[in-house]
């Protein structure tokens, strides 16, 4: 697989191919002031390279993200949806900050095709 | 009909039955390209006799606070009317607006809060988001104006929801910043693209310097945070000039148009704007020329001070001669390059003569903005003197400016000057 991993300071995105889907796992803390600057090109690349595959975006192990991280996530999920990729998004519903961030995302993702956001 | 203060929900409902509500659109002009940037949606009702009324009184009515039995009826009724206007406005916008123009839609933070509160059981889209999606309007054309209502809840909790709106392309504006409820923390929470400033604030700035200083700070804040200022309620060319002086990127007000039942053409105001901008430039240009003349005057004064200064390491021996140069000088002192005060304060009070405050020796002034400004300008521009922006002196409660003058490479003379001095 051509997709490289992403690591900046204490923040990491690992990509691994499972039997029936590609898992994109977010780890650590996304605290950059303008994360879109570095995340958008990386995630655009993933969305292009994984076209046609099913993906699981796993936030359950993410320790923290600031609100500026949300727009790049939405941009990525929208691209996956437009590319016809079946996209599962998992978050940890027992973590208060994750529920606060992903519940609104879950609500609005009903307008996107093939995207399912689930609290695990 | 009851007076507005006494109206019940039923009174309002009867009133609405006598007319038809419709959205109106007030154009917002971009100073940058002199054309219409967008339109703010404002509710109107046309009565059977053809008379048109605004819905401001209805939306600001607090029926539910006066009579608890009316709650939540009145709020629900307000939201129903609001939704009718919103849907009609969006439909009209979709069918009739020029591409790339924006629509400003008011949204109470209370509605956002109510959505957030029930988000776990809610399977509906957030307010405005839902209507924009259903009509397939590009969210990037929508600017949500957060209204100034006071809300007791912790708005910080809305940040994730705001981030979702932004992620889908919606922009935010803070309405009427500076009013009672729109506290500055709304800037941090909503990270708005635009701050709307009411002209009342600017009008107050003409008679009260505090308002003026707040506007300068707001202008600076906008610059630093990448937020554009929009002055609303602009009625005269003079007010437009003032708004532009504070860096207003967008203008809204009767100077251009009232709220209309259609979208005026984007270039409708261009000719007027060309004229206004030209007169603004001429005014600014003459201001700069006046400033240059004033600076020439200061140069002469500085030379006079430099030839009169006598400092023995702890006392300004020639303070009387320095005070005699300009009657607006009211305080002198000397510091080293680290801001440590070496001399006493020499203070002139009108009608009381000059007195010396010796106890201030060894105070440090490096934390004052004028000191940093002096260090920066004297190093970068190699200037031997610098004059500060006006500020309010904490001790004397006057508006003052400070002249900082390099005495030699180790010493700085500070002269506090009344603001009304001609420089």
Which of B122, B129, B163 shows the shortest C-beta gap to A70? B163
Q: What's the pLDDT at B59? A: 85
Residue B66 pLDDT level (bands cut at 50, 70, 90):
low
Between B123, B133, B160, which is nearest A104 by CB? Answer: B160
Q: How far is CA B266 from CA B29, B30, B262, in A?
A: 9, 10, 12
Provide the CATH number for the domain formed by A6-119 in this structure. 3.30.750.24
The answer to whether the CB atoms of A105 and B164 lie below 8 A apart is: yes
Least Cα separation, residue B111 to chain A (angstroms):
15
Final residue before a domain boundary, out of B217, B242, B268: B268
Angstrom distance (rounded) from CA A25 to CA B228: 37
Q: Where are the domains of chain A?
A: 6-119
**Would you state the pLDDT for residue B420?**
66
Neighbours of B180 (CB within 10 A): 9
Tell me the chain A residues in contact with residue B167 when contact means C-beta distances shorter than 8 Å: 70-71, 73-75
**Which A residues in the span 45-74 are in contact with B, Cβ-Cβ below 8 Å?**
67-68, 70-71, 73-74
Q: Which of A30, A107, A116 to mutate to test the interface with B (most CBs of B within 10 A)?
A: A107
- What residues make up the domain containing B333? 309-418
Q: Which residues contact B357 (CB under 8 A, 6 or more apart)?
A: B344, B345, B347
**Of the candidates A67, A110, A111, which has its C-beta nearest B160's C-beta?**
A67
Instruction: Report the gap between the CA of B302 and the closest CA in chain A (Å).
Output: 45
Q: Do B16 and B161 sit in the same domain of this protein?
A: yes
Q: What integer pLDDT is reported at residue B295 of this predicted model?
A: 78
Distances (CA, A) of B417 to A113, B325, B328, B393: 68, 12, 5, 10
Q: Which position has the higher pLDDT, B420 or B146?
A: B146
pLDDT one-digit tens code per residue, B324-341: 998 889 999 999 999 999
**In this predicted complex, what is the ipTM?**
0.86
Q: Is the pLDDT of residue B184 over 60?
A: yes
Q: Indicate the number of domains in chain B.
A: 2
* Interchain CB distance below 8 Å, A67 and B162: yes
- What mean pLDDT do residues B9-37 have? 94
Q: Where are the beta strands (DSSP E) in A1-120?
A: 6-8, 11-17, 22-30, 55-58, 62-65, 87-91, 115-119
Query: How far is it, in rounded angstroms, from Cα B357 to Cα A42?
Result: 64
Give a yes or no: residue B404 inside a domain.
yes
Q: A70 contacts in B (CB within 8 Å)?
A: 160, 163-164, 166-167
Q: Which band of pLDDT confidence, cut at 50, 70 and 90, is reported for residue B29?
A: very high
- Asked if the C-beta of A95 comes within 8 angstroms of chain B's C-beta atoms, the answer is no
pLDDT higher than threshold 90 for residue B5: no
Q: Considering the domain boundaries, does residue B51 fall inside one?
A: yes
Mean pLDDT of A3-21: 90
Same domain, B228 and B347: no
Whole-angstrom Cα distance, residue B349 to residue B231? 41
- Is A48 exposed, middle or buried, given 0-12, 13-18 or 19+ CB atoms closer than 10 A? exposed
Q: Cβ–Cβ contacts within 10 Å for residue B254, how many?
A: 12
At B235, the pLDDT band (50, 70, 90 cuts) reads: very high
Cβ <8 Å between A100 and B162: no
Q: Do both B102 and B197 map to the same domain?
A: yes
Mean residue pLDDT across chain B:
87
For the cut 90, the answer to whether the pLDDT of residue A4 exceeds it is no
- Are A70 and B120 a contacting pair at CB < 8 A? no
User: Which of A70, A72, A106 should be substituted to probe chain B, the one whose Cβ sees the most B Cβ atoms within 10 Å?
Assistant: A70
Q: Is the pLDDT of residue B180 over 60?
A: no
In a domain, B339, yes or no: yes
Residues of B in contact with A74 (CB under 8 A): 164, 167-168
Chain A residues lying within 8 Å of B162, measured CB to CB:
67
CATH number at residue B233: 3.20.20.450
A82 touches chain B (CB under 8 A): no
The lowest-confidence range among B117-126, B164-173, B187-196, B302-311 is B117-126
Task: Examine residue B284 and state whether it is found in any structural domain, yes or no.
Answer: no
The answer to whether the CB of B21 falls within 8 A of the CB of B84 is yes
pLDDT computed for residue B89 by the predictor: 97
**Residue B64 in this model has a pLDDT that exceeds 60:** no
B123–A110 CB contact, under 8 Å: yes
Query: pLDDT per residue over B138-168, tens digit each?
Result: 999 999 999 877 777 788 888 889 999 999 9
Least confident of A27-41, B45-59, B199-213, B223-237: B199-213
Read off the CATH number of the domain in which B346 is found.
3.30.450.20
B352 in a structural domain? yes
What is the percent of chain B where pLDDT is above 70? Answer: 94
Tell me if chain B has a CB within 8 Å of the CB of A93.
no
Region B378-393: mean pLDDT is 82
Q: Give the pLDDT band (50/70/90) at residue B421.
A: low
What does the pLDDT read at residue B213?
Answer: 78
How many whole angstroms separate alpha carbon B408 and alpha carbon B384? 9
The pLDDT, as a whole number, for residue B3 is: 65
Does A34 contact chain B (CB < 8 Å)? no
A13 touches chain B (CB under 8 A): no
Tell me the mean pLDDT in the region A78-105.
Answer: 93
Last residue of a domain, one of B247, B268, B289: B268
Q: For residues B2 and B75, which has the higher predicted lDDT (pLDDT)?
A: B75
> 10 Å Cβ neighbour count for A73?
25
Q: How far apart are CA B356 and CA B344, in angstroms?
A: 6
Nearest to B325 by CA among B345, B348, B355: B348
Contact of A33 with chain B, judged by CB distance below 8 Å, is answered with no
Q: Decide: B272 and B256 in contact? Cβ < 8 Å.
A: yes
Torsion sign across C-alpha atoms B107, B108, B111, B112: positive
Identify whether B205 is part of a domain.
Answer: yes
In-domain check, residue B292: no
Contacts across the A-B interface (CB distance below 8 Å): 47
Give yes or no: residues B106 and B242 share one domain: yes
Distance from CA of B166 to the nearest CA of A (A): 7
List pLDDT tens digits, range B347-381.
998 888 999 988 777 789 898 888 888 888 888 87
């Amino acid at each position: 697989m051509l997709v490289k991993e992403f690591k900046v300071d204490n923040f990491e995105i690992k990509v691994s191919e499972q039997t029936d889907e590609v898992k994109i796992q977010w780890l650590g803390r996304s605290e950059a002031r303008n994360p879109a600057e570095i995340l958008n090109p990386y995630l655009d690349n993933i969305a292009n390279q994984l076209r046609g595959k099913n993906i699981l975006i796993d936030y359950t192990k993410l320790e923290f993200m600031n609100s500026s991280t949300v727009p790049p996530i939405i941009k990525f999920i929208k691209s996956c949806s437009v590319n016809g990729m079946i996209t599962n998004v998992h978050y940890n519903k027992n973590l208060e900050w994750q529920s606060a961030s992903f519940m609104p995302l879950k609500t609005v993702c009903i307008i996107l095709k093939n995207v399912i956001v689930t609290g695990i | 009909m009851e007076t507005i203060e006494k109206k019940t929900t039923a009174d309002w409902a009867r009133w609405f039955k006598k007319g038809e509500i419709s959205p109106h659109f007030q154009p917002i002009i971009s100073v940058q390209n002199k054309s219409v940037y967008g339109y703010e949606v404002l509710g109107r009702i046309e009565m059977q006799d053809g008379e048109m009324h605004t819905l401001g009184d209805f939306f600001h009515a607090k029926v539910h606070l006066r009579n608890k039995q009316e709650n939540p009826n009145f709020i629900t009724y307000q939201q129903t009317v609001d939704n009718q206007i919103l849907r009609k406005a969006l439909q009209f916008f979709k069918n009739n607006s020029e591409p790339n123009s924006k629509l400003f839609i008011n949204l109470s933070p209370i509605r956002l809060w109510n959505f957030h509160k029930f988000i776990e059981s809610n399977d509906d889209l957030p307010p405005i988001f839902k209507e924009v999606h259903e009509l397939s309007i590009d969210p990037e054309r929508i600017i949500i104006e957060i209204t100034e209502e006071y809300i007791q809840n912790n708005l910080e909790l809305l940040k994730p929801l705001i981030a979702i709106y932004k992620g889908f392309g919606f922009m935010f504006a803070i309405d009427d910043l500076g009013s009672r409820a729109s506290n500055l923390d709304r800037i941090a929470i909503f990270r708005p693209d635009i701050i709307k400033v009411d002209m009342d604030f600017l009008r107050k700035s003409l008679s009260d310097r505090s308002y003026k200083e707040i506007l300068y700070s707001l202008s600076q804040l906008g610059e630093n945070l990448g937020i554009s200022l929009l002055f609303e309620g602009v009625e005269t060319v003079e007010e437009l000039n003032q708004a532009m002086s504070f860096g207003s990127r967008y203008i809204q007000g009767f100077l251009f148009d009232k709220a209309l039942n259609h979208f005026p053409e984007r270039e409708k105001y261009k000719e007027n704007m060309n004229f206004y901008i030209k007169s603004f430039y001429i005014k600014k240009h003459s201001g700069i020329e006046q400033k240059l003349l004033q600076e020439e005057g200061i140069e002469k004064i500085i030379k006079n001070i430099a030839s009169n200064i006598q400092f023995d390491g702890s006392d300004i021996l020639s303070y009387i001669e320095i005070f005699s140069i300009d009657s607006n000088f009211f305080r002198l002192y000397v510091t080293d390059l680290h801001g440590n005060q070496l001399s006493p304060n020499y203070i002139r009070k009108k009608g009381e003569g000059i007195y010396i405050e010796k106890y201030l020796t060894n105070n440090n002034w490096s934390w004052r903005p004028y000191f940093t400004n002096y260090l920066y300008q004297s190093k970068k521009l190699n200037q031997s003197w610098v004059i500060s922006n006006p500020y309010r002196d904490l001790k004397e409660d006057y508006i003052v400016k400070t002249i900082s003058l390099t005495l030699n490479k180790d010493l700085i003379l500070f002269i506090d000057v009344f603001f009304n001095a001609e420089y």
